[in-house]
Amino acid sequence: MKVIKSEIEGLLIIEPKVFEDDRGYFFESFNESKYIEAGINLKFVQDNQSKSSYGVIRGLHYQLEPFAQTKLVRVLQGKILDVAVDIRNESPTFGKWMKIELTEENKKQLLIPKGFAHGFSVISETAVVLYKCDNFYNPQADRGVIYNDKILNIDWEIPPDAMIVSEKDKSLPELQNAEMNFKYTTE
């Protein structure tokens, strides 16, 4: 397993070691002891899975503390553009975002710590996304930032007339008006 630090502190790209032959492939999608060796000590308690069609944008979602979630995101089928936005108060990269293509072929994973809003767009015909969470879903702590925030200006790589967004996600506030309670720490 290879752990790659991104330009935004805390966001990590995980590249598992994949063994391929004429039968197909094998890899460990998660191995707690290897994560601990890499300095990542997490206890995942919930797995979430979604299937979406081309053009679907989900997000940008997060949960307030003390119910915030670290997520480990990967794609089982298809291709997505995965996006994480730093919403940690006093962070030197507050409001900055990173995007990465996660695909069934590249098998990359994105580790998104607490203090980030998360979303993705489906850029293949369909996509099945699986992510592990280190805290349970709490509907009262559920918050988000609108996907088309003008200041963030995220390119979801979907033409506007092909975007499929839920009514809930269309009603989320812009970043400057979003409720968030994350503190930036260097620990």
Question: Pick the catalytic residue: 35, 62, 131, 147?
Answer: 131
147 a catalytic residue:
no
Question: Do 73 and 110 contact (CB within 8 A), yes or no?
Answer: yes
d(CA 145, CA 129): 20
Residue 149 phi, psi dihedral angles, 5° rounding = -55, 125
Helices (H), 15-165: 32-37
The owner of tokens 């004429």 is: 22
**Cα Dmax for the chain:** 53
Q: Is 61 a catalytic residue?
A: yes
| C-alpha 155 chain-centroid distance | 15
Handedness of CA 129, 121, 17, 114 (dihedral sign): negative
Active-site residue numbers?
61, 131
